[in-house]
């Protein structure tokens, strides 16, 4: 299935905003005309962004409890199906962190199977460009704190994630624990044998009738073969619903380009410095904590956020905005942070303040509150560039800003492009923003966003 004339090649839904810009980056760097929206776009919206090769929708299902997810996802998936693309991608975090109660990938697959009716749902397990490798069904990921590659259930950050800790390395088992799904696995040796062998092995697995097929990906070469598998399956039974990280976009673009990972166009290689930067962080990862330390050492003003007070005291948001604006007016860059690492006592204090509330719900409310502070500061300071760290935080905060769409402006760090917001008729139009997941970027990330890059 190639889709009707004028339809995009691909449409994706990101389960959080940081992951959505990761997928957006891969497509843009491959030369595809791509825009990221905050909801499935209407024909009137698309008329303002003509001739798109790919369409993204930035969502927040990664932080949803299962009842909310079951209420929201059917309508979203139906709208994405109706765009007419041959492939509809549910873009998960590359670490697949989720649980039966929060951000359930398994439940999304079960819902989608009633909408797309594909024989089996492909799950692409690896994203090698981000050092996420799937081998014999087990996920491995490099840690930003020690540089070593760990099986995901032994990863020093993801195994202790505050909401969805990864306790199982086998992705088929991990996902099947979230919904009653039969999941087969296509191992990387079949991918190593080339396109014909991979298709034969995939067809043999599909003939057994599993609900989903987990596909290994340990290298860029593997992904090229995966791209061929996906497009072949879409031709037979499209639109094809696919699950995985931005390895899906890499697989497709590499197959279209027949093998070579796309290099960022020269237009994305440079971006100018800014004199002041505002960053908001709700990420509890150790890497983000080290990045906050690096920002403060580079001259940023670090402003601790009392998350409990922000959610219970109406005056707290105004006080934070005043503090940030004061430092920005003095020419300083500012980083507001709710936590510095998984051992920060503010995490326990926040949970204790709302003992009967699911942590994911608290996190979403906190993200919206931080978005309100970000919007208030931006309205007063009129900055040219912003940063939001933390997937759940970014998902909520950007919805408060409510741009019409995002497009890639420049290469920044793998999986974290610098984006430009489109907001017709508003001061937000043209403002740049970087949305950083907890595992992304180097130790100097925040200062690098401020300092620019000359190419």
Looking at 263, 282, 301, the residue that finishes a domain is 263
> String of b and e for 322-336 (b: at least 16 CB within 10 Å)?
ebbbebbeeeebbbb
Q: Measure the CA–CA gap between 61 and 71, rounded to whole angstroms.
A: 11
Domain identity same for 234 and 340:
no
Query: What element of type H or E holds 393?
Result: helix 391-401
Q: Are residues 98 and 38 in the same domain?
A: yes
Give the phi and the psi of residue 106 in degrees, each rounded to 5. -60, -45
Please check whether residues 213 and 349 belong to one and the same domain.
no
Query: In this structure, are residues 336 and 395 in contact, taking their beta carbons and an 8 Å threshold?
Result: no
Bridge partners, 397 (sequence order): none
Asked if residue 340 belongs to a domain, the reply is yes
Q: Are residues 42 and 169 in the same domain?
A: yes
Helix (H) / strand (E) containing 399 = helix 391-401
Contact between 389 and 279 (Cβ < 8 Å)? yes
The rounded distance, in Å, linking the Cα atoms of 177 and 168 is 10
Q: Which helix (H) or strand (E) holds 15?
A: none
Q: Is position 1 within any domain? A: no
φ/ψ bin of 127: left (φ > 0), alpha (ψ from -120 to 50), beta (otherwise)? beta
Do residues 410 and 287 share a domain?
yes
Residue 57 lies in a domain: yes
Distance, CA of 117 to CA of 145 (rounded, Å): 42
Please give the backbone phi and psi of residue 410, each rounded to the nearest 5 degrees, phi first. Answer: -165, 160
- In this structure, the dihedral spanned by the alpha carbons of residues 284, 157, 89 and 17, taken in order and rounded to 10 degrees, is 20
Residue with tokens 């409310």: 365
Residue of 446, 333, 318 lying closest to 383 (CA atoms)? 333
Q: Closest by alpha carbon to 416, among 11, 152, 23?
A: 23
- What is the model's pLDDT at position 273? 96
pLDDT tens digits, 151-193: 999 999 899 888 899 999 999 999 999 999 999 999 999 999 9
Do 128 and 196 lie in one domain? The reply is yes
Cross-strand partners of 87: 10, 240
> Residues 401-412: pLDDT tens digits?
999 999 999 999
| 169 and 23 within one domain | yes
* Alpha carbons 277 and 432: distance in angstroms, whole number: 11
What is the token pair recorded at 28?
Answer: 């843009």
Is 46 inside a domain boundary? yes
Nearby residues of 7 by Cβ (< 8 Å), 6 or more positions away = 83, 84, 85, 86
Backbone angles phi, psi at 340, to 5 degrees: -130, 85
CATH number at residue 438: 3.40.980.20
Of 128, 66, 74, 134, whose CA–CA distance to 102 is shortest?
66
Low-confidence ranges of the chain (pLDDT < 70): 1-5, 259-264, 455
CATH number reported for the structural domain that contains residue 215 in this entry:
3.40.50.10840
Domain count, the chain: 2
Neighbour-count burial of 258, counting CB atoms closer than 10 A to its CB (0-12 exposed, 13-18 middle, 19+ buried): exposed
Residue 3 lies in a domain: no
* DSSP one-letter code for 129: G
pLDDT score recorded for residue 192: 93
Establish if 438 belongs to a structural domain: yes
Do 441 and 295 lie in one domain? The reply is yes
Give the pLDDT confidence score for residue 18 in this predicted structure. 86
Query: Is residue 284 within a helix (H) or strand (E), and if so which, with residue range?
Result: none
Residue that terminates a domain, selected from 225, 248, 263: 263
Is residue 443 in some structural domain? Answer: yes
| Residue 220 counted as domain residue | yes
Give CB contacts under 8 A, 24+ apart, made by 420-424. Answer: 422/35, 424/48
CA dist., res. 279 & res. 324, Å (int): 10
Q: Are 387 and 282 spatial neighbours (Cβ–Cβ below 8 Å)?
A: no
Max Cα-Cα span within the chain = 66
Q: Which tokens go with 396?
A: 């909520």
Do 335 and 430 share a structural domain? yes
Q: Are residues 248 and 356 in the same domain?
A: no
Listed residues 235, 263, 291: the one ending a domain: 263
End-to-end CA separation in angstroms for the chain: 40
- Same structural domain, 288 and 213: no
Choose among 88, 156, 146: nearest CA to 116.
88
CA distances from 442 to 241, 261, 412 (A): 33, 22, 10
Three-state DSSP class for 135? strand
> 244 with 319, same domain?
no
Per-residue confidence (pLDDT) for residue 438, from 0 to 100: 86
Give the structural domain span for 295: 269-451
What gap in Å lies between CA 122 and CA 293, rounded to an integer?
40
């Amino acid at each position: 299935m190639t889709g009707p004339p004028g339809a995009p090649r691909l449409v994706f839904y990101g389960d959080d905003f940081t992951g959505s810009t990761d997928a957006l980056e891969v497509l843009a760097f491959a030369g595809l005309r791509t825009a990221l929206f905050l909801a499935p776009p209407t024909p009137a919206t698309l008329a303002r962004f003509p001739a798109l090769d790919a369409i993204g929708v930035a969502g927040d299902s990664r932080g949803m409890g299962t009842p909310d997810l079951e209420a929201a996802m059917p309508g979203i998936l139906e709208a994405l199906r109706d765009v007419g693309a041959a492939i509809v991608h549910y873009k998960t975090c590359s670490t697949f962190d989720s649980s039966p109660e929060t951000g359930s990938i398994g439940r999304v697959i079960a819902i989608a199977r009633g909408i797309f009716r594909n024989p089996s749902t492909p799950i692409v397990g690896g994203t090698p460009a981000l050092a996420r490798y799937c081998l014999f069904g087990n996920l491995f990921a490099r840690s930003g704190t020690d540089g070593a590659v760990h099986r995901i259930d032994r990863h020093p950050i993801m195994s202790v994630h505050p909401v969805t800790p990864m306790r199982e390395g086998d992705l088929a088992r991990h996902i099947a624990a979230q919904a009653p799904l039969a999941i087969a696995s296509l191992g990387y040796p079949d991918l190593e044998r080339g396109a014909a062998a991979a298709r034969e092995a995939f067809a043999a697995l599909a003939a057994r009738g599993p609900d989903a097929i987990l596909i290994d990906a340990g290298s860029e070469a593997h992904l090229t073969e995966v791209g061929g598998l996906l497009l072949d399956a879409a031709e037979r039974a499209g639109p094809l619903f696919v699950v995985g990280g931005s390895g899906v976009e890499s697989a497709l673009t590499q197959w279209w380009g027949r093998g070579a990972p796309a290099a960022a166009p020269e237009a994305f290689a440079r971006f100018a410095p800014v004199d002041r930067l505002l960053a908001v962080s709700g990420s509890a990862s150790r890497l983000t904590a080290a990045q906050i330390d690096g920002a403060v050492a580079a001259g940023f003003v670090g402003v601790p956020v009392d998350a409990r007070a922000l959610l219970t005291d109406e005056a707290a948001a105004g006080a934070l905005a005043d503090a940030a604006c004061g430092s920005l007016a003095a020419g300083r860059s500012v980083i507001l942070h709710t936590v510095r690492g998984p051992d920060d006592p503010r995490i326990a204090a926040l949970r204790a303040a709302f003992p009967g509330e699911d942590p994911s719900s608290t996190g979403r409310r906190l993200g919206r509150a931080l978005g309100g502070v970000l919007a208030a500061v931006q309205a007063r300071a009129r900055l040219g560039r912003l940063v939001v760290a933390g997937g759940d935080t970014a998902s909520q905060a950007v919805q408060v800003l409510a741009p019409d769409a995002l497009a890639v402006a420049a290469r920044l760090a793998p999986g974290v492009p610098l984006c430009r917001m489109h907001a017709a008729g508003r001061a937000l139009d043209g403002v740049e923003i970087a949305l950083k997941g907890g595992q992304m970027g180097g130790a100097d990330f925040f200062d690098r966003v401020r300092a620019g890059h000359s190419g």
